[in-house]
Chains A and B, each alone.
Chain A
Amino acid sequence: MELPSIIRDLGESLVAPRQVIQILIAERRGLTFGFFIVLLCSILIGATATMVFISKLISFVPLGILSWIFGNVAILFGIASFVILSIGYWLIGGLIIHIFCKLLKGNGLFEHTLVAFSYLWLPSFLIGLIAPALMFLDYLTSLGLFLLMLCISFIWGVILSVQALAEAHNFSVSKALLSMLAPILILIFIFATLFSLKIFVWW
C-alpha cells in the first residue's frame, strides 16, 4: 500500500521545501496545496489557542450549561477569527512579499509566492501534536508550552518559507529573507509613524 502523494508532499516540505515547491509549481497544484495548509493550520492554531486562553478559564467557574455554551461559542469564534486573519495575512502579506521579490529581481509569479509563504503555517502541526497535553496541564504550564511551540513552529516556518521563496523566484536566500521580513518591517514602520504622529495612544 502506498501513502497518498499529498502526505509525502507534506512530509517532504518539512525537510526539502525547495524540491517540493518545484514539483508543485510544475504540476500547477501549488495554490490549492497552499490554501489548504493555511486553512487547516489556522483552524488548528485558532482552536488550540482558544482552548488554552479561553476554555480553560471558563472551566474555572463551573456554570453548568452556560459554560458549555460559552466554550463552544468561544471555540467557533476563535477558529473563525484565526481563519479570517490568517487568510487575510496570507493574501495581503503574500502580495507585499511578492512586490519585494520583484524589486529584488525575483522571477516567480504571485501564485508561487503564495505557495512559498504558506509554508509559514506548516510546522504548526507541532501545536496539534501537543494539544492533548495542553488540555490536561494546568493553566500556566499549558500557556507557556503553547507559546513555546508557537515560537518554534514560527521559526521553522520562516526557514521553510525563505527556502521555498528563494527557489520559486530563483534568487538567493538572503534576498528571500529580506522579502519575507518586508511585511513585518512595513507594519512596524506604519505603527511607529502612527505613534509618532500620536494618532494611536497606548493605554
Chain B
Amino acid sequence: MSKSGKITLSDFLGVLVVLGIAIGILVPILASSIMRTYKQEAFTDFDRLMQGIAHIPFMKITKKLVKEYTFNVNKEFHAVIEVTGGAIKITEGHGNIVKIRVYAYEGMPWFKGVDSERKYNVYYCERTNTLSINVNRYSVVIEIPSNYISSISLSINGGAAKIDTPLTNLKYLEVSVSGGAVDLKPASLGKVNVSISITGGALDGNLEFSRYVGESDVKIDMSGGAIDLDIQLPSNVKVKVNGEFTSGIVSVKINGEHVGRSYIEDGYEQASSKIYISYDVHGGIIDVGIRK
C-alpha cells in the first residue's frame, strides 16, 4: 500500500506471490493425505486419455479417418493385436461382421509422430480364422460381434488400449503390457482363462464374469507398472488365490476383505463352478478386488 492508502501494483503482486507460495506448499501436502480417499479418475480410460490430451493448452489433437475395413468372420475367431503407440478401442459389433476404422492423429508433431514411423497393419486370415492388427501412432476402433470371438491376445508396448464390449463367447484373454495404458472392461464373460503380464505401464480392469460356469484361471505376472483389477463373479463361484511375491505392493481382497498369499474358499474342491487366481509379483503395484 502506498502512503496515500492506495493499493499499488507492487502490493497486489506481492500478495499474489505470498499467496502462491503458501498455496503451492500447503495444497500438495494436504493432497498427499486426502488422495487416499479421493480416487483419481483413471488415466488409463481411453476416452479421458484422448480428451485429456486434447485439453492440454496449445496441444489440441484431432483424428481423421484414413481407412475402413469390413470382414465377415467365422465363429470362434481369434484376434491378435499389437500396439506400439497410438490407441486401440474394441467395442460391440453386430452379426458376423468385424468393422475396423483406422484414424490418423493430426496435431502436435510430438504426438502424431514422424510419418515414416507411423504404420498400421490389418489382416484377417480366413484359414486360421485370425484377425491380426498392428498399430503404431494410429488410432484404431474395432467393432467385434460379441458372440463370435473366442480369444484375444493383446500386446501393448506403448499407447493405449480399451476393451469395452460384452464378450459372451470368449475362452481366452491374454494381455501383455510393457508400457502405456490398458483399460479392460469386458462384460458378460463366461468361462475365460485370463493371462495378464505386465512389466511397465498401467492396467485398469473390470472383468465381469456374469455368465461364469465351470473352471478357469486368472494368471497375473508382474515385474513393474500398476494393476487395478476388479473381478465380478456370480455368488456360487468358489475362489482360490495363490500368490508369489518378492517386491512391490500387493493387495488382494474378496468382498472387501484382505486375503493372504494363499486362500481357498470353503467347498472349492467340490464346487462345479470355481476360479483359480494366481499372481507372481516381482515389482510394481497391484490391487485385485474380487466381488461376488
Using a CB–CB cutoff of 8 Å, the interface residues on chain A facing chain B are: 1-3, 6-12, 14-16, 40-41, 43-45, 47-48, 50-51, 55-68, 71-72, 74-75, 122, 124-129, 131-132, 135, 138-141, 143-145, 148
Contacts and interface: CB of A to CB of B under 8 A. Distances in A.
A66 B25 contact: no
Interface stretch (B38-46, B99-107, B147-155): B38-46
Determine the main DSSP class of A at the interface with B. Answer: helix
Nearest to B202: A60
A11 B1 contact: no
B181 to A, nearest CB: 10
A64 B287 CA distance: 11
A175 to B, nearest CB: 27
Contact of B31 (A14, A55, A66, A125): A55
B110 to A, nearest CB: 12
Contacts of B28: 47-48, 50-51, 55, 75, 131, 135
Contacts of B10: 8, 11-12, 15-16
B48 to A, nearest CB: 6
B130 to A, nearest CB: 34
Interface residues of B, number: 52
Contact of A11 (B12, B25, B49, B251): B12
B114 interface: no
A61 B48 contact: no
Interface string B183-217: 00000000000000000001010000000000000
Nearest to B37: A62
Contact of B57 (A55, A62, A66, A148): A148
Interface of B: 1, 8-25, 27-29, 31-33, 35-36, 38-43, 48-49, 52-53, 55-59, 202, 204, 226-228, 249, 251, 285-287
Given A3-B14, A56-B35, A63-B251, A144 B40 contact: no
A162 B50 CA distance: 40
Contacts of B53: 140, 144
B27 to A, nearest CB: 4
A11 B20 CA distance: 12
A155 B240 CA distance: 58
A128 B18 CA distance: 9
A62 B80 CA distance: 32
